[in-house]
Amino acid sequence: MNSSAVDDLFAELEMSYATGNIYYQTISAVLEAAQLVGISHREQLILAQPKNELMVHFPVRMDNGSYQLFKGYRVQHNNVAGPYKGGIRYHEDVYLDDIKSLAVLMTMKCALMRLPFGGAKGGLKLNPREVSQDELMRITRRFTAALGANIGPDYDIPAPDMGSNAQIMAWMADTYINFAEINNKVEARSVVTGKPLAFGGSAGREKATGQGVVDVLEVLTPGMGLTLSTCSYSVIGYGNVGSWTARLLSAKGAKLRAVLDHRGAIFHAKGLDAEALAIHVRETGSVVDFKGAKVISEEEFYACEVDMLIPAALEQMIHEGNASLINCKVLVEAANAPVTPEGEELLVARGVTILPAILCNAGGVTVSYFEWKQNRQSEQWDEETVDRRLKRIMTDAAHRVQQVAEKYECSLRIASYASAVEHLKEIYELRGIFP
């Protein structure tokens, strides 16, 4: 869809965005794919804006006795395929348009994977490193109470995202259970996924996003002339997704050349030890000062020659200001929306293949689905079962994206959205409009 057609649609909805706006960028690419698939105008209008945008403000008593006001978001984009699903981010820089854009990506991700979920995303404006554990718990419980009946096991199911984790999910579930009907307490814990194993979590959930990245690479890299056991790669961000992707790739023999995080960048020509680096980051909070590694600048990091560059941190990190420095064959989007359209244009012009986020990082939500299913059936699958089922879903989706890219002669990104939209279109046509 050309940008004027997108603008016409927005004008009809009385919405207007600057071209650099992340929601505008995401929804424009989705609508381009929707047009390829040929969905109706009515369905385009539905997809162009989230169903619900919730913003809550709530006070919390801090350790020193003072009260602080917090801001939280939950955007529910679409639920035609099933309950809303998506993580809740804890970060000091969360804004409504970021959350809206990430909610759209969740709709697309769940539809691409053919999971029985819609898409949502949440955010809490907070740097979790700046509060005590007790404060974090009280903030999380108040946030959950403020969301109230806007979340639920059959309605909207949050999960961890950047800055949140299994402990935070345990507090959310516990708070929700306290409000649940007396005869519904067991079912109520499936209100969130990504919980700790001992409290309804799933084996393999913590590493799931990284595992899914590796499963997708196993399908797609051979056709790109790369062999995982011998290729080199670099990573942006060494949190859950970055560190697990690196640990699993390095276990296959791939060489981790460089890592960039919020405090700096490191390099090793012969390869960094991904396991030892994960321990170092857990202890110190950053990759800098890792023993034996050379400290490099951000520019040197981007210019570092590797087969694969794997952004696994925030959105829009690769843009027109740094894309022309990048020296890789394949860019693997482990993060959501890490490349701006201008950055993408520069990379594509230089022959870099981009593997799209909604495919690469869908392992997390897929194992979330397994967790939700296990909770509802009172089952506990072992890690081998989880890994096997995850691999099957990731592999099928990777093949589907390849086939759709051939069918429409488009990029893998547009193909991933097109495959998702094909699924949503089919559901809309079957369901029709009430009444």
Q: Which stretch binds ligand GLU (CB under 6 A): 13-21, 211-219, 363-371, 422-430?
A: 363-371
* Cβ at position 161, least distance to ligand GLU in Å: 4
Residue 205 tokens read as: 């959930």
Candidate list 77, 85, 100, 413; residue touching ligand GLU; CB under 6 A: 85
- Please give the Cα distance from 180 to 162 (Å, whole number): 27
For ligand GLU, the closer of residues 86 and 338 by Cβ is 86
User: Bridge-partner residues for 119, per DSSP?
Assistant: 78
For ligand GLU, the closer of residues 207 and 255 by Cβ is 207
* Cβ at position 120, least distance to ligand GLU in Å: 8
- Footprint (CB under 6 A) of ligand GLU, residues 182-201: 193-194
Cα Rg for the chain, rounded, in angstroms? 21
- Footprint (CB under 6 A) of ligand GLU, residues 366-405: 368
Assess 28 for contact with ligand GLU (CB under 6 A). no
* Cβ at position 364, least distance to ligand GLU in Å: 4
For residue 91, the surrounding DSSP H or E stretch is strand 84-91
For ligand GLU, the closer of residues 232 and 336 by Cβ is 336
For ligand GLU, the closer of residues 211 and 368 by Cβ is 368
**Could you give the C-alpha distances from 334 to 95, 160, 281, 359, 361, in angstroms and in order?**
21, 15, 19, 9, 5
- Please give the Cα distance from 85 to 76 (Å, whole number): 8
Q: Which stretch binds ligand GLU (CB under 6 A): 196-204, 302-310, 326-334, 358-366?
A: 358-366
For ligand GLU, the closer of residues 255 and 400 by Cβ is 400
- Please give the Cα distance from 341 to 345 (Å, whole number): 6
| Helix, strand or coil, per DSSP, at residue 109 | helix
- Footprint (CB under 6 A) of ligand GLU, residues 131-190: 159, 161
User: Bridge-partner residues for 67, per DSSP?
Assistant: 61
Candidate list 336, 353, 374, 411; residue touching ligand GLU; CB under 6 A: 336
Annotated catalytic residue: which of 85, 109, 121, 195?
121
- Please give the Cα distance from 189 to 170 (Å, whole number): 9
Residue 111 tokens read as: 């539809």
User: Is 51 labeled as catalytic in the residue annotation?
Assistant: no
Instruction: Name the residue whose CB lies closest to ligand GLU.
Output: 87
> Which residue, among 351, 383, 376, has the nearest Cα to 154 in the 3D structure?
376
Candidate list 82, 83, 86, 311; residue touching ligand GLU; CB under 6 A: 86
* Cβ at position 162, least distance to ligand GLU in Å: 8
DSSP H stretches of helix in 87-207:
96-112, 133-147, 166-179, 185-188
> Which residue, among 77, 21, 89, has the nearest Cα to 52 in the 3D structure?
77
* Cβ at position 124, least distance to ligand GLU in Å: 13
| Helix, strand or coil, per DSSP, at residue 327 | coil
Candidate list 195, 364, 372, 425; residue touching ligand GLU; CB under 6 A: 364
Cα distance between the two ends of the chain: 31
Assess 22 for contact with ligand GLU (CB under 6 A). no
Tell me whether the omega of the peptide bond preceding residue 435 falls within 30 degrees of 0, making it cis.
yes
* Cβ at position 288, least distance to ligand GLU in Å: 26
* Cβ at position 268, least distance to ligand GLU in Å: 30
Catalytic residues: 121
Binding site for ligand GLU (CB under 6 A): 85-87, 159, 161, 193-194, 336, 361, 364-365, 368
